[in-house]
Structure 1
Amino acid sequence: MRLLGHDFKDRSLLQAALTHSSLTRGRHQNHAQQDYERLEFVGDRVLGLVISEELFRRFPQADAGNLSRRYNAQVRRETLAEICAEIGIDKFVFMASDLAAAGGGENPAILEDVMEAIIAAIYLDGGYDAAREFIKSKWWQRLDKEGASKKDAKSSLQEWAAKAGKPPPVYTVVEETGPDHAPRFKVDVRLKGLDPFEGMGTSKRSAEQQAAEKMLKDLQSE
C-alpha cells in the first residue's frame, strides 16, 4: 500500500488491520474475515519497543522520568489517531455502515487501534526492520518536538499535591454516555482542601487529563 510505504506479501494482514470488529461479530458476522483486535495487541508492543529503543539512543543524558514522559507522548491515543489521519488511513477502515454513519471513522479510539494493527501487519509481513522503518518515517520528527518531555497534567497535579503535603488526587468517573464505539466520559478530580473539577473526553484518560488541567489552572490563578 503506497500510503504506508510497504509492499505487502500477505495482503490478508493489511485487510485484517483495516477491519473493525463490527464486521466480524454480531449481526454483521463474517467468519471468513479477520478484524484488527489480535493485531493491535502485537502492534502496541512493537511500537513500544521501537520508541523506547530510539529514545534511549537519542537522549543519552535523560533520566528515566524524562524518557517516560517522552515515551508516553508518542504512544498515547491522541498521537496514534493523529498519525493515522495524517497518513489518510482513516478513509480506508472497513466497518459496519451504522458505525460509519455515527462517525466511527473519526473516533480516536478506533484510529489508535488501526494504527497499532498496521504496525503489527508490517512487522508480521516484513519483520522488525520493516516495522521500524515505518515507525521511523512517521514518529522520528515528533521525538524532538518542543514539549515532548513535558509532564502531563495528571503528573504535574500529583507532584503539586506531594509538595503541598496532600494525598494524591482522586479521579472518579461520574458519567459515561454514548454507544460502545463512541463513548464519552465525565470524570471529576478531587484533592483534599480544594474544590473538585470535571473533565470530559472520549476516554477516561483524556477526561482525567482535562480535569487535572482545570484544577492546575485554578491553582495557578490563585
Structure 2
Amino acid sequence: MNIRIFRFQNINILAQALTNKIHELEFQSKKGIKYPFGNNEEFVVIGQMILEFYFSDYLIQRGYPTKDSSIKKPSDIVQLRQRLLNEKNLAEIALQYNLPNIVQIGNQIGLKRNPKILAETLKAIVAAQYYDSGFDLEHVREITQPIFKELLDKGQNIPIAELKQNAKSSFLEFINNFTDLKPKVSVEWKKDANSANVFKVQLELDSLLNITKTGINKRQTEQLVYHDALMQLKQKTTNQYNLPLKNEIQKNVSDQRSSEQSTIIYELERSILNDSQTFHFSEVYEFSNTDCQESLSDKVEQLLEKLAF
C-alpha cells in the first residue's frame, strides 16, 4: 500500500482524533478533572461521511459507471461502497498505519487491535485531516486515494483506469512508485493589463523536468503542468532513461527511518510547545533509543496528559 502521510499542524486536533471515549472517561475518573480534548466520536461520524463521498469520487473520476464493467450504473457504486467500507476492511488498513500504537483507550490495552476501535480511529484521523488542513478538499482526496485503491484491490476485480481528471495525483503516484525525488512546484499570481488573474505554474524535478505554463484558472493550469510532467516522465522511462530508483537509495531511506525512530517523539513534544510545528506520520515505529525503552503509545499518552494540565 502506497501510504500517504498524515500531517498535523494543530496537535489538539490530532489528540482528539486519537482519543476513544473510554480513555476520556477513565482520565476524568482518575484525575477528577475534565479531559481537555474530548473524544473522537464526532470525528468518526464525519470521517465516515468523508470516506463515502471520496469513495464515489474516486470511481467517478476513473470513468465509472460504465457499461463495459461490473459498475454499470450509479447505484452500483453505492452498493460497492457499502460492501467495501466496512469495519473489517478499514481495520486492516488502520493496521498498516500502525494506529494500534497511538490510539488512546485508557487501560483497555486489549482493545487497541479491536476492529471497531481501529476502523473508528481511521475515520477520525481522516476527519481530523479535513479540519487541520483548513478544509482542503484536494488534500483530503490525495490522502484517501491509497485507502480506496487498497479496498478495491482486496474486494473487487475492477480494472482501475488511469485518473482522467486529476493529473496531479497520477503524477505523484507515478514518481512515488519509481523514485524518491521530490518535485518542486511554484505558483505565481498577477493581474494582466485587463486586470484579469493570471497564474504561472512551474514544476521542476531535479534535472529531469522543468515545465512552466500560464493560465487564468489556477487548478486547470496546474493540471496541465502535471499532465505534461507525467507524459514526459513516462516517455523517459519507456526510453530506459536512468531515473534514480528507490532501490538505489535504500540505504538512505533506512538511515532516515532510524533517525525517525529516535526523533518522532521529540517532534511531537515541540509541536505541543509551538503550534507552528508540524507532526506527521505514515508509519509509526516504537521509540527505540537505548535511554528510553517506552513505546510510542506510552509516550503519546504521557504527552496528552501533560497537555491536560
Q: What range describes the TM-score normalised by the shorter chain of this pair? A: 0.5 to 0.7
The equivalent residue for 1:82 is 92
Amino acid at match of 2:82: N
- 1:24-80 residue CA offsets vs partner (Å, 9 max, x unmatched): 126256431321111111111111110012223332312234222321233111111
Q: Note the 1:1-222 alignment, pairs <5 A.
A: 5-25=5-25, 27-28=29-30, 30-58=34-62, 59-61=64-66, 62-97=72-107, 99-100=108-109, 103-126=110-133, 127-145=136-154, 147=156
In 2, distance between residues paired with 1:89 and 1:76? 17
Task: Quote the offset at 1:14 in angstroms.
Answer: 1.0
Q: Secondary structure at the match of 2:58?
A: helix
Scaled by the length of structure 1, the TM-score of the pair is: 0.58
Q: Secondary structure at the match of 1:7?
A: strand
- Tell me, yes or no, if the aligned pair for 2:100 and 2:113 is still in contact at 8 Å: yes
In 1, distance between residues paired with 2:44 and 2:4? 16
More divergent stretch after superposition (11-20 vs 132-141): 132-141
- Tell me, yes or no, if the aligned pair for 2:65 and 2:77 is still in contact at 8 Å: no
Give structure 2 stretches of 5+ with no counterpart. 67-71, 159-309
- Tell me, yes or no, if the aligned pair for 2:130 and 2:140 is still in contact at 8 Å: yes
Q: 1:144 to 1:57 in 2, by over 3 A?
A: farther
In 2, distance between residues paired with 1:18 and 1:89? 9
In 2, distance between residues paired with 1:48 and 1:73? 11
Identical amino acids, percent of aligned pairs = 23
In 1, distance between residues paired with 2:154 and 2:116? 24
Amino acid at match of 2:15: Q
- Tell me, yes or no, if the aligned pair for 1:16 and 1:33 is still in contact at 8 Å: yes
Task: Quote the offset at 1:148 in angstroms.
Answer: 5.9
- Tell me, yes or no, if the aligned pair for 1:70 and 1:148 is still in contact at 8 Å: no
In 1, distance between residues paired with 2:90 and 2:153? 17
- Tell me, yes or no, if the aligned pair for 1:50 and 1:132 is still in contact at 8 Å: yes
| Divergent runs of 4+, >6 A | none
- Tell me, yes or no, if the aligned pair for 1:73 and 1:79 is still in contact at 8 Å: no
Task: Quote the offset at 1:92 in angstroms.
Answer: 0.8
In 2, distance between residues paired with 1:52 and 1:109? 23
Q: 1:148 to 1:90 in 2, by over 3 A?
A: farther
In 1, distance between residues paired with 2:13 and 2:45? 14
Q: 1:111 to 1:141 in 2, by over 3 A?
A: closer
- Tell me, yes or no, if the aligned pair for 1:81 and 1:112 is still in contact at 8 Å: yes
Instruction: Indicate the structure whose relative CO is greater, using CA pairs within 8 Å and at least 6 residues apart.
Output: 2
Scaled by the length of structure 2, the TM-score of the pair is: 0.43
- Tell me, yes or no, if the aligned pair for 1:73 and 1:148 is still in contact at 8 Å: no
In 1, distance between residues paired with 2:157 and 2:49? 21
Amino acid at match of 1:135: T
Amino acid at match of 2:39: D
